[in-house]
Amino acid sequence: MTPPNSTTQDPAAPHAVTHVPPGARSTIALLQRELERRWPGGLPNVDGVSRYALLPTGKLLRPLLVVESACAVGGTAEDVVAAALGLEYLHVGSLIHDDVIDGDATRRGRPTVAARYGTPEAIVAGDALIIGTFVAVTEHAGPGLSAERQLAVVHALSRAGVDLCRGEAMEAELCGDLGCGMDRYLEMIALKTGALFRGACRTGVLLGGGTPEQEHAVVEFAEHLGLAFQMSDDLLPHTSDGAASGKSPLSDVANGRPTFPVLMGHRLAGPAGRRRLEAALRGDTPAAEAHETVREVLESTGALEAAAERARSEAALAEACLSALPPSRSRDVLADVARGSVDRDR
């Protein structure tokens, strides 16, 4: 059966549609309707390219966080939907550029923007979407939205966007360097993944009229969620379900990326295991052999279980932060998102 929130043209992205908590379906439907309305077919030029990148949608996780954070503190989905879409523009714009940088030809089972339209078009469309974030967050002032709060959103989101760039640059720096250690990795994913999660949740609370205490709690929720989400994402290629989601178990190793389970293996291994992992990530050994080394060391050290346990613990910490909010459907959705972040195939 097709879930009600699925987009029919995107059959190759199973985890993109199984990850939505049932309570979030109306929000996801609203976000998809609004995206379709704002980016209709037949747009010329860079707007047509942007539509291709936005629709059919991915999980819409970041805009969902905006809407549910807003609703959880007393706001309405309608008041914040434009800003919520702004988060999606920032995320998708940055993914378009990521794919140019990595030379990737497919995303979510379709040709990337660069593969479909060309690199120049992808760079310009990514720019337009990134800048479009700030058109979106300032375009709609609902009756309850003060200019001060909208301005605070622009400030928070632009800082989050710069942090995202810093995280991307840091990820490139860490490539091939297993000696960077877990702390640098955690710093990197707090920027690369955590920044937009924090920006999304802060946006929701600010526009929803939340208190500073609620803002603090929801941003802390987002921090733990970001960690849980990225740790879990790094684990995906190593799990039996990973292949179904389109993740190649080889690509991170081949790219020399020190991912969470590999760093965990490095921490848990003895000196010989460490040296083998380091050589594999530096590209000193053929790809198939490197992959086999990584698999062996992760298995013998119990790194996969340790990494999954840490991800679950971050998700639990995220959920615990939500006790600062009054009970509501939206709070339940946020809790479901936290639990779903470490259990992608529910």
Which parts of this chain interact with a copy of itself (CB under 8 A)? 45-47, 49, 94, 97, 100-101, 119-121, 123-128, 130-135, 137-139, 146-148, 150-151, 154-155, 157-159, 161-162, 165-166, 168-170, 172-173
Q: Shortest Cβ distance from residue 137 to a copy of itself (Å)?
A: 8
For residues 123-132, b (16+ Cβ closer than 10 Å) or e, as one string? ebbbebbbeb
Residue among 83 and 342 whose Cβ is closer to a copy of itself: 83
- From the CB of 175, what's the least distance to a copy of itself, in Å? 10
Dist. CA 281–CA 278, nearest whole Å: 5
* Continuous H helices in the chain: 14-18, 25-38, 45-54, 61-72, 77-102, 113-117, 119-139, 147-174, 181-192, 194-208, 212-235, 251-254, 260-268, 271-282, 287-301, 303-321, 329-341
Residue 294 to residue 278: CA distance in whole angstroms: 10
The residue type at 15: H
Specify the residue, 138 or 285, whose C-beta has the smaller distance to a copy of itself: 138
Number of Cβ within 10 Å of residue 73's Cβ equals: 24
CB 238 within 8 A of CB 249: yes
Cis previous bond, 4, omega within 30: no
Q: Which is nearer to a copy of itself, 126 or 340 (CB)?
A: 126
Residue 110 DSSP SS3? strand
Smaller CB separation from a copy of itself, 105 or 172: 172
Q: What is the closest distance, in whole angstroms, from the C-beta atom of residue 191 to a copy of itself in the complex? A: 10
Least spacing, CB of residue 312 vs a copy of itself, in Å: 31
The minimum distance between CB 280 and a copy of itself, in angstroms, equals: 23
Tell me if 92 sits within 8 A of 54, measured CB to CB: yes
Do the Cβ atoms of 70 and 322 come closer than 8 Å?
no
What is the smallest separation between the CB atom of 88 and a copy of itself, expressed in angstroms? Answer: 15
3-state SS track over 198-243: HHHHHHHHHHHCCCHHHHHHHHHHHHHHHHHHHHHHHHHHHCCCCH
In terms of CB distance, is 94 or 301 closer to a copy of itself?
94
Between 23 and 161, CB nearer to a copy of itself: 161
The smaller minimum CB distance to a copy of itself, of residues 12 and 162, is found at 162
- What's the start-to-end Cα distance of the chain, in Å? 14
Least Å distance between CB 125 and a copy of itself?
8
| 187 vs 332, beta carbon nearer a copy of itself | 187
Q: How far is the CB of 166 from a copy of itself (least distance, A)?
A: 5
> What is the spatial distance between Cα 108 and Cα 15, in angstroms, rounded to a whole number?
10
Q: Which CB atom, from 145 or from 298, has the smaller least distance to a copy of itself?
A: 145
DSSP state, residue 109: T
**Minimum CB distance to a copy of itself, residue 173 (Å):** 7
